[in-house]
Structures are given as C-alpha cells and as structure tokens.
Structure 1
Amino acid sequence: MQAQGTQGSSPEPPGEPLTLPTAIEQSRVDVRALTRVLFERLAELPAGSPEHERVRAALIEVNLPLVRYAAARFRGRNEPMEDVVQVGTIGLINAIDRFDLSRGVQFPTYALPTILGEIKRYFRDNVRTMHVPRRLQELWVQVSGAMEELTVVHGRQPKVPEIAASLRIPEEDVRACLDAGRAYNATSLEAQQEHDGGLALLDRLGYEDSALTHVEHRDMVRHLLVQLPDRERQIVMLRFFGNLTQSQISTELGMSQMHVSRLLARIFARLRSGNHWEN
C-alpha cells in the first residue's frame, strides 16, 4: 500500500532553493513555524509546478509525526502499523490540499480529524468482519464526514445532537451509526491469547475503570500543550504538574503574580478554543 502525492517531482528550477533542515536539525526547529512558512510558500506557487510539488512533499515529510501519533491510537486492531501509517498519510495529504491558512486555524488541529477519519474508513471498509446493515454503512460515511467538519469548526469532538442537526437526521440514527462504526471484529471470549500466557479473554475481564473516560481528553490536552509558546507551556507545567501556586510561579519566573494570573487565563482560553496561537 503506497500513499500517493509525494513522488514525481522534477529537478529544482533555477533560483534560490528552498532547503529543509537535516533530520537532526529538524528535531530542534519549531514544526508549527516551519509548517506555516511552507504553506505560505505553497500559496505563492502555481499548482502543478515542480516547486509546488516539492514544497507539498516537504509539508508531508515535516508532518509525518502527526500521522504516527494518530496511528498509535489503533495499535490494538491487529493491523500492521506500517499499513495504518500509510493510510493516515493519505489523510495528511488530503488535509494539506484542503487547508486554508487564512482561516487562522493551526494545521495540526485541522489535520488530525482528517487523518483519523481516513484511518477509520480504512478499518470500516477493509477490516470489518461483523455484518452491519448497508443503510448504516452508507449513513456512517455522512456521519463521519460531519464529525470531521464539526471538529474543525468547534475545535472539539462534536456531540450527537450537533451531528444530527448538521445532517438533519434523528439522533437515534446517529447513535446507531456510531455503534456500527465501532463494530470491526468479533472474537470469542474463550479464545486463548498466546502473548498472554494462554489466558482466555474471559479470564482477563476486569472492573470498569472510571478514568478511561478521560483518556481522550488527556490526549487532546497533550496535543494542545505542545503548541503553546515555551513560556506559557512552562507556566502550565509549573502550575498543574509542579503544583506551584501563582505566587511561587511569579517568584520562579521573575514576574508579578497578577501577570501570571492573566497569562493563565489567556492560556485557558487558547486551550479551549484550539484556534491560532498568537505570539
């Protein structure tokens, strides 16, 4: 399985070349800033030109870690991770081709739902072993598409009533689609797991962990935190991971407590919105 869109570039035309950092240097640069520069450059170039294709390929390469981050959510699906990454890369390419820099949305915030949607469609269309009515399969295409669009608009996972209102269908149909979308493989509870010492799935059933409901929230917070400027991220880490008071943070960073309070309020607003981070 090969992701398309990264090959076929012609040699660089005359003029000042657009160079990319080496693998070591790339780990030290701000990927967000580099992505923005590349998109600005891409907007200046005629579509289909050799330079346009080369900048587009650079955007794909720079943002591949986002694909691997999304693919890691599907490690339990018994599919080769290389295949999942290839499918996610197709979603990344689609996001690059559709992204509008002028909307003021960070590219990872826009691209992640598209990448996840492409991977979920792959599992839906190629891996499903459980029978799902055709009506629900067709409706799921609309529901998943609406979920991607609403996630970009609201900066969060849409709720069932919002999806239903967007598609003008009953909420019960949306819930049925979401349940069908989670149906991939049926495994007997008596099936033994070789990598777990021969234990059957039934023997591994445990209690319900209430913290599981917060797993996706923590993933989203972690994804948003890496987009914060260094100083603001440091304040968040000191406040909520170092358990320092605002007074202690002001002493640590050499600023007034009132300034720390204002920065925290601004940080919370940015994390909730998921919109463009202004320096």
Structure 2
Amino acid sequence: MTEGHPDWLLVRQGAAPLIVSIPHAGTDLSEFEPQFVDPWLARKDADWRLDELYDFVETLDATLVRTTLSRSIIDVNRDPSGASLYPGQATTELCPTITFDGEPLYRPGEAPDEAGASDRLRLAFEPYHNALHAEIVRLREHFPRVALFDAHSIRSRIPRLFEGELPVFNLGTNSGASCSPALREAVGAALAASGRSSIVDGRFKGGWITRHYGEPSEGVEALQLELACRAYMAEPERPAPDNWPQPIDAARANVTRATIRKILEILLEGLRK
C-alpha cells in the first residue's frame, strides 16, 4: 500500500497499465454511525465481499484503489454536483438518504445538510478521486493507454431500481463513450461467451468514475462491471439482518473470478494494440 493516504483509503500500486477501483465495498460508518437509523441499513447496499472476489488483482500487477468507508456516508461514484446519472430513473443521491429499497437511512434531523455534504466531499470524496487521478497520471507516464476498471456488485432483484432479475454481468461504458469500440466489443464478447447472462450498457451504463475518467482519445479507457451478487454468493429473497450479507460461496466465486480475470487480461492485451 502506498503512504500518504487516509487510513480508509487503500492503494496498492502495480506496474501494469490497469487500475481496478472498488468504491462501494466499504462498511465503515466512522463517526457518522449514530446519525443512521440502523447500522445494518446503512451497510445494506454495500458491494459485499468484492475485496475477496478481486483478491487476484495483484497477480496481474494491476493497481488497486478502494475505500473502507460506507457509500452511505458519501457515494464516490456519483456526480459531485448532485446531478443524477440516470435522469428519470430511481437511484440514490451523492449523500444517500434512503436505501436502494427506499428505506430512510437517517434519524429525524440527522441527514447531512449542504454544509455537511460539503464536509463529506472534502473528507471522503476528494481523497478517493485524487488517488485515482494520481494513479492514472503515474501510469500514463509509462504507457500510451491505461484502463480503469470500476468494480461493483448489487442484489439481483431490486424492484425500485429495475424490473425483474438483473443479468449476472452488466458492462457499462457510458454507451460507448468511455472506452474504445474494440475494447467494448472484446470484453462484451467474453462476457457473452461465459455461458451466463450479460448485457452491455443496459440499466447500468457506468457511474461517475467511468464517465468522468473515460477519455479514449486521451489514452484512458474506463469500464464498469456491475455484477449480480448471485454470481458469488447466495441471495435471500428478502434481505434482513439475520440473512444478509451471506458469506462468499467458493464454487460460485471461483467461476466468476475466472471470467473477470479473463476480461482484465483482454483489457491488458487490448491496450498493447
């Protein structure tokens, strides 16, 4: 891990032209915990176990950037202006006040006001993005092209956010704007060949990280993978404190890791062309 970052910001520098960002796996509520209705609710929508699922990233010599802070404090994958990434569709805010299922997160009068949101931007949002930017700059000094892979997961069924069951693999490229057509096609084809359901630029087209940093013409290829949680763990029909999250399922996780590793290798190979 590199030095000079807050304790909650974990950066492992690699030499390959690949950065893996894991912005939503954190569960630390820090000093904000007393403001929430229930700590379990505040952690409910975490991208559970992704640090375990992506434990192979170091073997690719990729750079890893992740936070241990909960997205309920501030979502580092949202537009810092507060503008919605999906106008007209249900989502959660920069500083979420409800869960994905619409449950209130804060005790009455405890939700962050404008000043509180500004403090969270400074304390938690900006350091994460400063780290991502610094790693992009570092690697661009050595490579003409680098890839930023933003790793996410979500429950397979959340009626408030989408209809039915989400495909296992949901690749987002901001409708093709955040990465080159060749990489988008190659990764999409590998996901389709996995034998499991997949879609490219469906309900999840990429969040702020993908949209903000992806500039293929400037040598930065950015892609988001939203993974249905059933790909690596059991999902209860109705999440509750006694059944969510589930432990990682080794058999499911190993199959999923193999696919993710393959698409990361495709990215690395594609960058050389």
TM-score (normalizing by structure 2):
0.23
Q: Which has the higher strand share?
A: 2
- Asked which structure has the greater RCO (Cα within 8 Å, sep 6+), the reply is 2
TM-score (normalizing by structure 1):
0.23
Please tell me whether Structure 1 or Structure 2 has the larger radius of gyration of its CA atoms.
Answer: 1
Q: Which has the higher helix share?
A: 1
